[in-house]
Structure 1
């Protein structure tokens, strides 16, 4: 599992994050969970349900039409107003296609679902592999978004990286909005806790450090500009 991480002035662009997989039925559920965590870390919880469905269909397409045990790559990125989902596999012959509604059709209905859910999708052929991709509109940033504040930008970059090192321990709650808030809060708590342990291990007074941090927050301009 890897990620190209760049600190951005805005969260409308995220460099590609990717994870390798081997096509097995149980891998689909694992990839759905990973995607949910990644989108929550990217503050895109509203896209979790749709993205997971698209990932399920794209990966299942590899499983069904290329074969069990096929090595693949799932990649996510955000560029401007779109979340891009890519599934890479080594077979350049088995091309996905939309099949019109037919109760007797044996394949293609997964791509029909992707076609209905995504804003657009397509296939890119390369010499040694193909990429099946789809894009989902991210929509406008939520009210009160303060990503441009330097402190928030640094914190988001840290949490983004931290989520790959230590996945949040919280359980899921109904509703993508709650998932996103809960995951973000748990990741922030984990980061703070680890830094407090680090301070204690070096003989520092944790309460004194927390007091200094609180003083800086009170003295600095609000991240929301207020």
Structure 2
């Protein structure tokens, strides 16, 4: 899976926080990183709120998201190189001072980089990936890997174990398997189109559930 870096410029306003959270959730869903969606959204909220509180409303800011090895890297760029975020022990019930403490609690690491024209506050979250372009194993993925391993051995004796197949070869094995299942359905009098529609609906439902639903914010 290709996870290309992306960034988004915005004005630091409270109403932007919800939109940024939704964008983050959407992109992580596309990247297959549902498991860290809540933590990533929290980090975005707190880092942007930190700019609003300590740099000022309407500050031109940029959210940048990328992969650093198997970690998700979230960066917030703002033009103030003097107002540096600090980790504080906010008292219980305190309205301020908790932002970086929350980031510190959920992120594996965080820090601040100073450039000539801007400050970059960043944090990184462990994705659970085995490689930057890999996937996070879930129950469905694990079952599919086991089936593909058996299928590849039966139909493509020279193929390697499916967990080590190249992407192009693995896709061909998947296509072969789906085609054979469609032949089986047709031979048993099943409506192939209906089964495909139900499978697609099931897949979309599981994906939506994993990413927190369609309308969360």
Q: What CA distance in whole angstroms lies between the structure 2 residues aligned with 1:146 and 1:71?
A: 45
Residue 112 of structure 1 corresponds to 101
Q: Tell me what 2:58 maps to.
A: 69
**8, 19, 25: which is aligned to 1:19?**
8
Shift of 1:101: 3.2
**Residues 82 and 135, structure 1, Cα contact 8 Å, conserved in 2:** yes
Measured in 2, the distance between the counterparts of 1:57 and 1:31 equals 11
* CA drift at 1:79: 2.6
In 1, distance between residues paired with 2:54 and 2:25?
25
Which structure is larger by alpha-carbon Rg, 1 or 2?
2
1:1-226 alignment, distance < 5 Å: 11=1, 14-103=3-92, 107-140=96-129, 141-142=136-137, 143=142, 144=145, 148-150=166-168, 178-180=209-211
CA RMSD in angstroms comes to: 3.1
Q: Are the structure 2 counterparts of residues 105 and 17 from structure 1 closer, same or farther at C-alpha, using a change threshold of 3 Å?
A: same
Q: Deviations over 1:95-114 (max 9, x none)?
A: 00110132486643100000
Q: CA deviation at 1:44?
A: 0.6
Check conservation: 2:107, 2:123, Cα contact below 8 A: yes
Shift of 1:73: 0.4
Alpha-carbon offset, residue 151 of structure 1 = 7.9
What TM-score results when the alignment is normalised by the length of structure 2?
0.62
8 Å contact kept, 1:18–1:74: yes
Unaligned runs of 5+ in 1: 1-10, 154-172, 184-226
CA contact (8 A) 1:97 1:111 kept: yes
Distance 1:110 1:36 in 2: 20
Kept in 2: contact 1:91–1:130 (CA 8 A): yes
Residue 138 of structure 1, CA deviation = 0.5
CA offsets 1:97-147 (integer angstroms, 9 cap, x no match): 110132486643100000000000000000110000000001033133799
Contact 1:46 1:177 in 2 (8 A): no
Taking the aligned partners of 1:151 and 1:180, their CA distance within structure 2 comes to 29
Structure 2: where are the runs of 5+ without partners? 130-135, 146-162, 172-203
Rounded to whole Å, the distance in 1 between the matches of 2:205 and 2:18 is 18
Contact between 1:23 and 1:67, CA under 8 Å: does it hold in 2?
A: yes
Q: What TM-score comes out, normalization by structure 1 length?
A: 0.60
In structure 1, how many angstroms separate the alpha carbons of the residues matched to 2:12 and 2:64?
15
